[in-house]
Structure 1
Amino acid sequence: MYVVIVYDVEQERVAKVCQYLRRFLHWVQNSVFEGEVTEAQLERIKQGLHKLVDEEYDSIYIYCLPHEKYLKKQVLGIEKAPIAQILD
């Protein structure tokens, strides 16, 4: 499945969440990651995030699609981390 994860966490947790998500997904913009994962990997990601965030103050949105082909993405302005560069 293809996931997009967007987070808004307190400043002291931003770096930890970012480093954790970089292990599984591609960074595309501040506080936004995306990529192809299995259901098992997504569960592992969610478990790790539960340990890193404070659910009283932080929020994480996870958008799941069956495949990247169902995602229509448009970028206005500079694409900060194009996935094509990572795959080349």
Structure 2
Amino acid sequence: MYVVLIYDITMDVHGPKVHRNVFKICKRYLTHIQKSVFEGNLTQLKLMQLKADLDKYIRKDVDSVIIFKSREERWLDKEFWALEDDKTDRFF
């Protein structure tokens, strides 16, 4: 399945450490496309592993992770409204 992952980490005392760990985990599974946004193809098993890895760091009371899922990349439409980044050319 094709996944777009977006996260928001609260920058309190522990925020920078949480952010570093979340970023590294996401980068292992997906392509980094913009600040806290990642995309890529994952199997259901890999998605479950990603969630398990993130659950070790995400603080459910202050942090947020959103996953958009699609069967295939081709079902997504992408439009640039400003600077076009070639790292994101995987969308059609």
Instruction: State the TM-score bracket (shorter-chain normalisation).
Output: 0.7 to 0.9
8 A Cα contact 1:27 1:81, kept in partner: no
- The count of corresponding residues between Structure 1 and Structure 2 is 85
For 1:50-69, list aligned pairs within 5 A: 50-69=55-74
Between stretches 71-80 and 22-31, larger displacement belongs to 71-80
Give the superposed CA RMSD. 1.6
TM-score normalised according to structure 1 size: 0.87
8 A Cα contact 1:4 1:64, kept in partner: yes
How far is 1:6 from its partner? 0.4
How far is 1:35 from its partner? 0.4
**Which consecutive residues of structure 1, in runs of 5 or more, have no partner in the other structure?**
none
Which amino acid in 2 is paired with 1:66?
R
8 A Cα contact 1:26 1:34, kept in partner: yes
Between stretches 55-64 and 5-14, larger displacement belongs to 5-14
Which amino acid in 2 is paired with 1:33?
F
Which residue matches 2:47? 42
Counterpart among 25, 39, 50 of residue 20 in structure 1: 25
Greater C-alpha Rg: 2
- Percent identity among equivalent residues? 32
8 A Cα contact 1:2 1:34, kept in partner: yes
